[in-house]
Amino acid sequence: MAIPTLPHQTTDLFLTDGGTETWLMYKRSFELEEFAAFHLLHDPNAKAALQEYYGTFAEVAVRHGASFIFDSLTYRASRDWGRLLGYTDARLAEMNHACFELYRTAARAAGLPASKTVISGCIGPKGDAYKLDQALTAESAEAYHSEQIATFKAGGAHIVTALTLNTTAEAIGIARAAQSAGLPSVISFTLEKNRCLKSGESLQEAIETVDAQTNRAPAYYMINCAHPVDFGPALTSDAWSDRIHGLRANASTLDHGTLCQLGHLEEGNPDELAAQYADIRGNFPNMNVFGGCCGTDFVHVDKIATALLAPA
């Protein structure tokens, strides 16, 4: 089986998916217990919807000649969330692997070659992404996340992606755990309206801290679950920004708390979002991984790819 080139190994374009959970809830009317998309694989109708979701993204990647990073479905398939849903450790490992098989099926159906099919083991925070877990240390995060990363390794993942992190401690633990497992890691931070992590660090401070504490273990960094109008000004021309290779923005400029309480989907303006991505990449050509977060789907990512690949 061909081993795909990964984003930090090339300047080629990589696409990834969007707001999986918001699409499932608001576009397909599925209830997500504990916000866990993987748990829906037990429902044949939901599984078919997920195959449609990832399959359509893969088709977008094929159409644009891009590689695709299959991600997000295992976001809450870790021990604490799994136990809330009644999973044993063994059964939870099986579910992580089932997610990877769904990815591979979607890639084959779309005609995406193995050389452009990246299987990412997606990790979410141990707790709530929008609240601080004051007790979580780098050491406890490493111990906790090592379990899910081991299932990723056994399931044939090419890379580990940690989304929506709000503390450097958890990021350090995940990066160390992935390194110990022999898998490259991606650390994606989420920012508040003040352009800082929930824990108070600036994006620069967070990246430099994780790099210093892990000997630059992460393959690269990303930003997710924020909007370009908020995180864009946090980017600078300094060297630390070169460590950021990807974006997964929200469709809406609304803050996290408001978005969670709306009860309906905020899809924003896909054309405007695509133009904002193109502007950012124009200033930061090192970035080559692009997808979406809350409120986005394959429509947004298709427009983003079109904007990024348009002649200068």
| Phi and psi torsions of 206, nearest 5° | -65, -50
Residue position matching structure tokens 């090339």: 10
Distance CA 65, CA 309 (A): 10
Look up the pTM and report it. Answer: 0.96
Give residue 218's pLDDT: 98
Are the C-beta atoms of 225 and 72 separated by less than 8 Å?
no
Are the C-beta atoms of 270 and 291 separated by less than 8 Å?
no
Per-residue pLDDT tens for 81-110? 999 999 999 999 999 999 999 999 999 999
Give residue 261's pLDDT: 61
Are the C-beta atoms of 168 and 204 separated by less than 8 Å?
no
Q: How many CA atoms lie within 13 A of 254 on its CB side?
A: 17
Distance CA 175, CA 210 (A): 8
For the chain, first and last CA: distance in Å?
36
**E strand residue ranges, 166-274:** 185-189, 220-224, 244-249
Per-residue pLDDT tens for 202-261? 999 999 999 999 999 999 999 999 999 999 999 999 999 999 999 999 998 877 656 656
Give residue 5's pLDDT: 97
pLDDT at 303 over 80: yes
Distance CA 90, CA 87 (A): 8
Distance CA 158, CA 167 (A): 25
Find the largest Cα–Cα distance for the chain: 52
